[in-house]
Amino acid sequence: MDRASVEIATLLQSGFRYALSLTHDTHQAEDVLQDAWMAVIRANGPLSKPYLFSAVRSRFLNANRREKLYPVVSLEDLGELGEDDSADEGGAGLDGELLERAIADLRCVEREVLFLMVVEGYTAQEVADLTQRPRGTVLSMLHRGKKKVRRYFKQQNARTMP
C-alpha cells in the first residue's frame, strides 16, 4: 500500500470508531460512515478527521431525526420484548461490559464528547469547534458524562457487594 492509501484507511478507521461511538450499532455505524465518506468525496472536501467527523455527525443526527419521525421495529425485536433480562446479569462482573452499559446510558452528546476527548485525544477547544458548541458546554458535558459513568460503576459495585 502506498502512503495515501494508508492515510485514508487510518482516517476511515477513526471515522468508523466515531460513528460506532455515536450509534452503538456496527451496521448503522458502517452506513453512517459510508454516507459521510460519499459526501466528502462528492464535495471534494479535505481528507481530514475534523471534516470527516463533521460529516459523520451530520449523517448520524439526520438518521436519528428520521428514526424519531418514522420508528422502525424489526420482527426479531418484537420477539424479544417479552423476554426476561435477568438472565443477562451473570456477566455483569466484567468491567468491559459494565463500561459499555455505562456509556450506553449516557446522552448522545455526552457520549460524543467523551469519545472525542478520551479516545481520539481532541482538546476541549477542538471538540467545541468540531461540534459547533461553546467550549464551556463541551467541558460541562465531559464532566457530566464522567460523573454518570462513575455513578453507574458505584451502583453496580453496591449491588454486587453482600
The residue extents of the domains of the chain are 1-72, 85-162
Exposure b/e, 87-111, CB count within 10 A at least 16 = b: eeeeeeeeeeebeeebbeebeebbb
Looking at CATH, the fold of the domain delimited by 85-162 is given as Arc Repressor Mutant, subunit A (1.10.10)
| Residue 66, pLDDT score | 59
How far is it, in rounded angstroms, from Cα 128 to Cα 63? 22
In the predicted structure, residue 14 carries a pLDDT above the cut 90 = yes
How far is it, in rounded angstroms, from Cα 131 to Cα 109? 9
- Phi and psi, residue 93, nearest 5°: -80, -10
In tens, the pLDDT along 144-156 reads 998 998 888 888 8
How far is it, in rounded angstroms, from Cα 29 to Cα 37? 12
> 21-25, 95-99, 117-121, 143-147 — which is least confidently predicted?
95-99
In tens, the pLDDT along 127-149 reads 898 888 999 999 999 999 989 98
| Residue 91, pLDDT score | 45
